[in-house]
Structure 1
Amino acid sequence: MQKALLWRWTFYFTGLLVMALGVSMTIKGQKLGVGPWDVLHVGLYRHFGLTIGTWGIITGFVIIVATAAVLKQWPKIGTWLNMLLLGIFIDFFNWLLPDFTTFGAQMVIFIFGVIVMGYGAGMYISPNIGAGPRDSLMLVFVKKTGASIKKIRTTLEVIVAIIGWLFGGPIGIGTVLIALFLGQMIHYTLPQSRRFLMKIIGEKDENIFLN
């Protein structure tokens, strides 16, 4: 039991770090645009100050409250930790990673960032400790509609990108690529991460979100 719990938390925190690294990589490739949620966060940052990570925490809190109202229950502790830690990690990696000035370098860092995001999201969701606010919202729609993860994720990303654009956030071809393909990546990386985790801890996989 303790071994299984340790591995679940290890996957969770490692996934958050990987996810945050991927987000920061895409932000560093800003000439291509940023991810749909980050369009909103960057737009708010440009208008009101604070940091991109701080706005991620604020919007995450709003989503948690709204999701809890719909489900009539508070989310798991992992969801609250995600809200706080992902924003902190993003600000850390934004500070740590260098700025890339050429278009070629930004294109490379952006593409790798999307891939890193996809695996990070699949990894931290897989232990079922508590998905992040945005992924919890995605999973709520999966439950309610019966649609696939990739369809729900893609739809949400497109809607958020439009809202972020209305706030003045930066949109580019990269924004479209993330909106269209990140959800499809998680559709595959989530079950991969889940099967790997279950193999390590020796448990049978009964996750309903892998179908």
Structure 2
Amino acid sequence: MTATAEAPRTLAALNPLQQLRAGHLPRRLVQLYAGLALYGGSMGLMIESNLGLDPWDVLHSGITKHLPLSFGTVVIAMSFVVLLAWIPLRQWPGLGTISNAIVIGLVTDLTLYLLHTPDALWLRIVFIASGIVLNALAGALYIGAQFGPGPRDGLMTGLVRRTGLSVRLVRTTLEVSVLAIGWLLGGVVGFGTVAYALAIGPLVHVLLPIFTVRLDHPARTT
């Protein structure tokens, strides 16, 4: 994580009440919901490219093949299923966590209603490339607002804290597992899946420090 000219910008480990008392609330709320809306839109672009999805969305798309539910509804339902796993990990969801679980699914369904898969391959490539870049920007916006991790990221960090295993191992295990299950259910795996895996980390690494809001009263930082 990079530093600004004034001081390093870091993510603070805050409980839900501290998140609301940490200052810059109007700016952080706007940034949170703009990021979540953009995230849902970026997911819609990737889905309509029909060139592959990120691991969790491969799982979501696989579930839609077997249940009469929209993609966004599955995203919301799975978010709350994942949140149940937070209970034994003794984690508290923040405003950003609950908002993530709801807003992204709603905006994804709206985007899918407005967009359709293009016939031209070049345009589908534009969709997947734009979706990946916008997804990284969206993630940096909502994470940088510091209202708590999304359900899936919180599952990862909770497992890291409780097991003592590395972030790399836990994240890789989770994503390979959900990718495999999604693929077995008929989820969309392709070029976009590989492109997302290669690009999302470096993009978020560059963008997150730019959009991380400096808090007035930060607690322990990560």
TM-score when scaled to structure 1?
A: 0.83
Question: Greater CA radius of gyration, 1 or 2?
Answer: 2
| Counterpart residue number, 1:64 | 83
1:208 is aligned to 2:218: no
| Counterpart residue number, 1:83 | 101
Unaligned runs of 5+ in 1: none
**Structure 2 CA distance for partners of 1:174 and 1:129, relative to 1, 3 Å:** same
Say whether the 8 Å CA contact 2:89–2:158 is kept in structure 1: no
Unaligned runs of 5+ in 2: 1-20
Amino acid at match of 2:75: G
| Counterpart residue number, 2:11 | none
**Structure 2 CA distance for partners of 1:191 and 1:105, relative to 1, 3 Å:** same
Larger RCO: Structure 1 or Structure 2 (Cα < 8 Å, ≥ 6 residues apart)?
Answer: 2
1:4 is aligned to 2:24: yes
Write the distance in 2 (CA, Å) between the matches of 1:128 and 1:104. 37
Secondary structure of the equivalent of 1:208? Answer: coil
Which deviations, in whole Å up to 9, do the C-alpha atoms of 1:142-169 show, x marking residues without a partner?
5454746x77555533332112111111
Instruction: For 1:49-60, list aligned pairs within 5 A.
Output: 49-60=68-79
Secondary structure of the equivalent of 2:53? Answer: coil
Equivalent of 2:206, from 172, 188, 193? 188
Write the distance in 2 (CA, Å) between the matches of 1:193 and 1:142. 25
Secondary structure of the equivalent of 1:61? Answer: helix
Secondary structure of the equivalent of 1:48? Answer: coil
Q: Give the structure with the higher percent helix.
A: 1
Alpha-carbon offset, residue 34 of structure 1: 1.7
**Structure 2 CA distance for partners of 1:192 and 1:140, relative to 1, 3 Å:** farther
**Structure 2 CA distance for partners of 1:37 and 1:2, relative to 1, 3 Å:** closer
Alpha-carbon offset, residue 87 of structure 1: 0.5
Give the root-mean-square deviation of aligned CA atoms. 2.5
| Counterpart residue number, 2:156 | 138
Alpha-carbon offset, residue 192 of structure 1: 2.1
Equivalent of 2:128, from 106, 110, 115? 110
